[in-house]
Amino acid sequence: MALKLNQICPLFNPESFTNSFILLKDSVFQQGGFFLSDFLDVLSKNSANGLVLMGIEQNFAHYLNISKKLGSNLETLINAGQLLYIDLFSKFSDWITSELPITEEPPLTWKEVPKKAEVFSVFSEENLEKLFDKIEAFSQTKGKTWVFIDNLNMFVNSFESSKMSMSFINSFLELLKMKNKNFNLLILGTIDDENPMNLKLIQLLELSANIVIEIQQNPSGFSQDIDGNVMFF
C-alpha cells in the first residue's frame, strides 16, 4: 500500500481543517487517487464526521476493497449513516452482472452499490439541484461534513455544458463560507497538458483552494527508491 499523507507530512491532519477546500492535483502518469481513499479512512475514524463520496472514475467495489485494505469498510459506514455514497460511475458503464454469459461469473472483488447509496444517472440541472439539497440535508446532522469528488475532469465532462457542472461545484464553495456549517470539500483534478480548458479550470480552482496537494513525477526519472514527489501549497 502507498504511504499515507501523515507519513509523508507528519504535520498534515485533515481533522484540523474547518470550512476548507483541498485541491488534489495529479497527472495521467502520477495518479493520486490512493490519497483520496486515505482521507476517507482517516476521517471515518471520527463518527462526528459526515462523508460524501461522489464516485465517477471508479466503481463502488473499487473503493470498498481499498477501504478494507486500509482497515475500514465503506459499506458499514453507509449503513450506519456516516457516509453518503453517490454512484455516478454506473451511468458510464454497460457492464451489468446480470447480463454476463452463463459461463462467466463476477469477480470475487465485485460488489453491487448498496441500497442506501444514491445512484445518479440523469445529468440535468434539476437533478443536480435535488442532489445538492440531499447533500446539504445530510450535512445538517453532522458535526463536520466532507464532500469528495474523485475526478474533476470526468465530472465536468459528464454534463451538457461545463457551466452546469461548475455551477454545482461553486455551490459547494459558497457553503464553505458559512462558518456555522463546518463544510469541507476535496476535489481530485488530473492535469492534462493537451487540454487548455482543463488547465484553466484547475488554475481557477487553485485560487479558491485553502491547500493544494500536487503529486509529481520524479524529476530525475525512474528510481527504485522514489516513486514521485508530493508538494503542499
**Domain residues of the chain, as ranges?**
19-93+106-116+123-203
Q: Name the DSSP class of 94.
A: -
Kindly state the average pLDDT of the residues 183-192: 90
**How confident is the prediction for the chain on average, in pLDDT?**
81
Q: In whole angstroms, how far apart are CA 168 and each of 1, 124, 131, 133? A: 33, 11, 10, 11
Say which range, 107-121, 133-147, 158-172, 197-211, has the weakest mean pLDDT.
107-121
Statement: residue 93 has pLDDT above 70: no
What are the grid coordinates assigned to 159, written together? 454534463
Q: Name the DSSP class of 93.
A: -
Q: In whole angstroms, how far apart are CA 129 and each of 58, 99, 100, 114? A: 23, 33, 35, 23
For residues 186 and 208, give the distance between their C-alpha atoms in angstroms, rounded to a whole number: 12
Q: Which amino acid, one-letter code, is at 196?
A: P
What is the maximal distance between C-alpha atoms in the chain? 56
Q: In whole angstroms, how far apart are CA 149 and each of 10, 62, 100, 106, 201? A: 25, 15, 30, 27, 15
Helix, coil or strand: residue 223 = coil
Q: Name the DSSP class of 2.
A: P
The listed range with the strongest mean pLDDT (94-103, 128-137, 188-197) is 128-137
What are the grid coordinates assigned to 40, written together? 476517507
What are the grid coordinates assigned to 189, written together? 483534478
How long a stretch of residues is the chain?
Answer: 233
Say which range, 24-38, 57-71, 103-117, 211-225, has the weakest mean pLDDT.
103-117
- 84 falls in which pLDDT band (50, 70, 90)? very high
CB atoms within 10 A of CB 83: 29
Statement: residue 215 has pLDDT above 90: no
The CATH fold assigned to 19-93+106-116+123-203 is Rossmann fold (3.40.50)
For residues 133 and 137, give the distance between their C-alpha atoms in angstroms, rounded to a whole number: 6
User: What integer pLDDT is reported at residue 223 of this predicted model?
Assistant: 60
What are the grid coordinates assigned to 14, written together? 485533515
- 15 falls in which pLDDT band (50, 70, 90)? confident
For residues 47 and 140, give the distance between their C-alpha atoms in angstroms, rounded to a whole number: 14
Kindly state the average pLDDT of the residues 62-90: 90
User: Could you tell me what percent of the chain has a pLDDT over 90?
Assistant: 21
Statement: residue 187 has pLDDT above 80: yes
Name the residue with higher pLDDT: 97 or 20.
20
Name the residue with higher pLDDT: 28 or 175.
175
User: What integer pLDDT is reported at residue 1 of this predicted model?
Assistant: 39
Q: Which helix (H) or strand (E) segment is 146 a member of?
A: strand 144-149
Statement: residue 100 has pLDDT above 60: no
The listed range with the strongest mean pLDDT (74-83, 97-106, 198-207) is 74-83
Q: Name the DSSP class of 4.
A: P
Statement: residue 83 has pLDDT above 90: yes
Kindly state the average pLDDT of the residues 185-195: 87
Q: Which residues contact 38 (CB under 8 A, 6 or more apart)?
A: 2, 4, 5, 70
- Beta strands 211-217 and 228-232, pairing class: antiparallel
